Amino acid sequence: MECSFALVGKGYVLVAADTTAARSIVKMKSDEDKTKVLSPHLVMTYSGEPGDTVQFAEYIERNIRLQHMRNNHELRPQSSAAWIRRTLADSLRSRHPYSVNLLLGGYDEATSTPHLYWIDYLGTIASVPYAAHGYGSYFALSTLDRYHNPAASLEEGLRTLRRCIDEVANRMAIGVGKFKVRVVDKDGAREVELPPSVSVA
């Protein structure tokens, strides 16, 4: 069961995606990276129809890179989000639409603020403090409603993310496996390790 989470903290955005590649009930791979670093201060997670996902993510990645090279300046998160949304919205009313859901996290160097966008395959976009895609969203959003703090340190943010993943692991009928976590802040995007899970009574 594919799922991805993201949350905003004090000066950073955390994004996480599960790492299983499954076909029907068969797990084909357990270390699939469903995140992409689009530019130094922009990361995204992608999920949806197999085939569409990688194709679309690479298309986005290369175009954001092209924009960076042409202008010698990276596209800001708001502008990147608007362009990605438009690409999906145009695709929706084409002969073969992409079926890809995204969480886009970025750090705007001009205003020193983190941004998080929830984008679905229809081209719906929402600027949110925390977000989730997939079945995991039914469990994780309640956890985030309770524990999310926009002024939290990175350590605290990672602990909240861990709570979400543990909640999903606890309550979902099918296991989700390991998660790949990336953070983006003023120093750029990088991979981070989740803290160990704390057992809940």
Partner 1 sequence: MELNGGSVVAMVGKNCVAIASDLRLGNQALTIATNFEKTFPITDRIIIGLPGLATDVITLKERFRYRVNMYTIKEGREIEPETFAHLVSSTLYERRFGPFFVEPVIAGLTKPSEGSVPFIAGTDLIGCLTLPKDFVVSGTASDKLFGMAESLWEPDLGPEELFETISQTLMNAVDRDAFSGWGAVVHVITPDKVITRTLKGRMD
> What does the binding site for partner 1 look like in residue numbers (CB under 8 A)?
85, 88-89, 92-93, 118, 120, 122-128, 131, 137-138, 141
Could you tell me the smallest distance in angstroms from the CB atom of residue 82 to partner 1? 9
Q: How many CB atoms lie within 10 A of CB 52?
A: 17
- Backbone dihedral angles phi then psi of residue 96, each to the nearest 5 degrees: -130, 95
Specify the residue, 125 or 189, whose C-beta has the smaller distance to partner 1.
125
Calpha distance 42→73 (Å, rounded): 13
Could you tell me the smallest distance in angstroms from the CB atom of residue 126 to partner 1? 4
Could you tell me the smallest distance in angstroms from the CB atom of residue 128 to partner 1? 5
Q: What share of the chain is helix, strand, coil (3-state, %, to 5)?
A: 35, 35, 35
Specify the residue, 28 or 126, whose C-beta has the smaller distance to partner 1.
126
What residues contact 59, with CB distance under 8 A and at least 6 apart? 87
* Residue the block writes with tokens 């001009």: 110
Specify the residue, 37 or 141, whose C-beta has the smaller distance to partner 1.
141
Specify the residue, 12 or 130, whose C-beta has the smaller distance to partner 1.
130
Could you tell me the smallest distance in angstroms from the CB atom of residue 1 to partner 1? 16
CB–CB of 93/42 below 8 Å? no
